[in-house]
Every structure is written in structure tokens, then in C-alpha cells.
Amino acid sequence: MASENRISNLQKFQWQPTISKERPRREMYVVVVGESSRSGNWGRYGYSRKTDPLTSADTALLGFANVTSGSNLTTLSMPQLFTLTPPWQPEVFDTVSSVITCFRQAGFKTWWISAQGVFGTGDSKPSMIGKEADVWKFLSIDLDPRGLYDSRLLPLLDSALEDSFSRKLIVLHTQGSHFDYRNRYPEEFRVFGSDSGKSWEHDSYDNSVLYTDWIIHQALVKMRKSSDPSAFLFISDHGEALGEGGASQPREPKSSESGI
């Protein structure tokens, strides 16, 4: 199995990182990985709806334009985000460890906290990456849980932030805007509705972005309570098609399926 080959190769692969004496004694990095979140539905990138009122008003955040995912599938894009795997050579994933291990080899304590689950008869590629961390937790057994939102990540983020270790890397892997979008946010975030003239998938997708904006803001508020030198990154694994250019649109779930 590929996972068995990779476990064997992980023991051989060394990043050989070094930390200069000029580096601060304490450092903290928080990475929030979005799911199916496309920049075109975020206000800071020109979208007409205010789907990101909190993060767009945060002047400390820098938005990156012209960023393209190497794949439209999480199982392929995540190795490209966290390892040296190029889009045209996915088999490289079985020969290298991820940046999680790089941080560990540099003396950091690492966390992987996922609102997603471990899928299939063996680990998925994202979960294999996650299990390279010192502390890992997967909160779902189903890719499409209903009534289980990304806010579940925040208490675990608190625990990681409170850890006394001097250098930390904390990764939060969200459900984000994965279909069915209507299962991704609580009722109070159902702001955009069908009276807008947009389709149900656009409305519910935008609500999921609004909720992600809130999750990012909460993570930043928690992180900024620390005086340690720190950096924050939000990046999505890939975007999402909502029927543009003739792309097939998702089937509208029946009321009994929507979770609402």
C-alpha cells in the first residue's frame, strides 16, 4: 500500500532545517486550511456581497491575488500545499515528509486539528500529513456532518495556544465551504437568502464563506492574546464551481437532506 511505503520513506527523509541564533526564543505559527473556498466569493477580492466583513476590515492581514490550486481535489491539492509534491508528479508524495515534519525537525511542537475525518480503508493523504504532527485530532468520521461546525476547532486551538512549549506550529483543517454548503454554518449565519435573485447554491455557499470569515477572526483574536512573535496564514485547498462556464451545478438537496 502507498501508506506503508510512505511510512517507511518518512524515516529516511530529512529536511535538515536550522534555526539561527538571531531567531526569537519563542515563535508561533497558526495555519487555517480552508476547504473549497474560492477567492471570487470573498469581498476583499471584489465580490459584491460582504461575505468577509471581519477579515476584510483587519488591516494587519495581507491578501494574496492570483493564487491557483494545483488540483480541484483535496486528496491531490493537500500534498502540494504541505510537501514537495508537484502537480504533475503525485507519486512523489510517497517519498517525502511534509512541512509538519520540517517544523518538528527544527524544534517546533506541532498540532494538526481537523474538522474532517480519516477516510477509506487506510489513511487519506491529508490525514497522513496530519499524523506527522506531535498532536493530531480528527473531529469527524463523515465528510458531510450536519450540525457539527468548524467552531469545534476553537477550543482545541485554545489548548494548543496555552501549551507552554516555546515554538509552535498549529494547523486547523476546516470543513469550510465543502458541499453540501447548507451544512457548513449555523442558523445565525444564514444571511444571504433566495430573495437576492441568486440560486440556492450561491446563497448557501456565500453563507459558508461568511462563517469561515468568523472562524478566521476568532482564531486571530485568540492568537493575538499571546505576546509571542507570530504569523498567521489562511489558504484553501482548492476552489469550487457554481455552474459557471457550463460546469455542472450541484443537485439541490431535498429538505430532508439539507440539515436545515
**Which residue blocks in 147-237 are alpha helix, DSSP H?**
153-162, 200-223
Can you name the CATH fold of 24-60+92-242? Alkaline Phosphatase, subunit A (3.40.720)
Average pLDDT over residues 8-28: 85
> Residue 101 class from Cβ within 10 Å (0-12 exposed, 13-18 middle, 19+ buried)?
buried
- pLDDT, one tens digit per residue, over 117-161 is 776 445 689 999 999 999 999 998 665 667 789 999 999 999 999
Rounded to the nearest integer, the mean pLDDT of the chain is: 88
Please state, as a whole number, how many other Cβ atoms lie within 10 Å of the Cβ of residue 176. 24
pTM of the model: 0.90
- pLDDT, one tens digit per residue, over 191-250 is 998 666 778 889 999 999 999 999 999 999 999 999 999 999 999 999 998 877 655 455
Domain residue spans of the chain: 24-60+92-242
Helix (H, G, I), strand (E, B) or coil at 29: strand
| Predicted local distance difference test score (pLDDT) of residue 182 | 92
